[in-house]
Amino acid sequence: MDKLKKYIRWAVLLILLFLFVSIVSKLIIISMYKPKECKILFENPKIEILDSKATNANGYIYGCITNTTGSVIENKFIKLDCYSKYDNNLSSGYAQIFRLEPNESQYFIIEYRAEGTERVEISMSDTAPDYLLNPIDVTLTQTQKLALVAGSLIVLYYLPSGYLFGIFP
């Protein structure tokens, strides 16, 4: 019975250590994001930047576009350009505006990955490259990540004895 209590104690300690490391690493990553100024190169339609943060390698811009032109805006793109301190265009990001009636608003998020970004500019564009509109980069939700971990543990549990290079007896 003492052995079982010892194993349970070690399992609880391992779970607590995992939670502590997860929370601390998340806090460290969040603290790395600093506010980033961005320049809007047009006045109509009106863009309001709600949140703009970046690290030295990546960042995001969360904003709201309001149609103040008096006409319908269709199939346009909000274009974000990242520039280095030498005015080289490092990266571009796009957010699509499908249809925006006069005085209607739409929220958008543009994420970018560009190391050494010094300046960010926002403009309007009629087109966007296909590879940027259909990214290959896959982002998983927390539920999907949890399902992958649970599935991996189930597969490891049901592996035949000594199957994986003799790791599991």
Chain position carrying tokens 């929220």: 107
Q: What is the pLDDT of residue 31?
A: 85
Read off the pLDDT of each residue in 73-79 and give the average, rounded to a whole number.
90
Read off the pLDDT of each residue in 143-158 and give the average, rounded to a whole number.
87
CA angle, 33 then 45 then 57, to 5°: 20
* Complete domains list, the chain, with CATH: 35-132 (2.60.40.1620)
Cβ neighbours of 104 (radius 10 Å) = 13
Read off the pLDDT of each residue in 26-49 and give the average, rounded to a whole number.
89
CA neighbor of 106 nearest in space, from 63, 49, 44, 59: 63
- Give 33: exposed, middle or buried? Use CB within 10 Å, 0-12, 13-18, 19+: middle
Calculate the dihedral angle through the C-alpha atoms of 81, 58, 31, 65, rounding to the nearest 10 degrees.
40
Share of the chain above pLDDT 90, in %: 41
CA angle, 135 then 123 then 52, to 5°: 70
Q: Are 69 and 103 in contact (CB under 8 A)?
A: no
168 pLDDT more than 80: no
- Mapping DSSP to helix (H, G, I), strand (E, B) and coil, where does residue 153 land? helix
Tens of pLDDT, residue by residue over 2-31, are: 888 999 999 999 999 999 999 999 898 888
Q: What is the pLDDT of residue 136?
A: 53
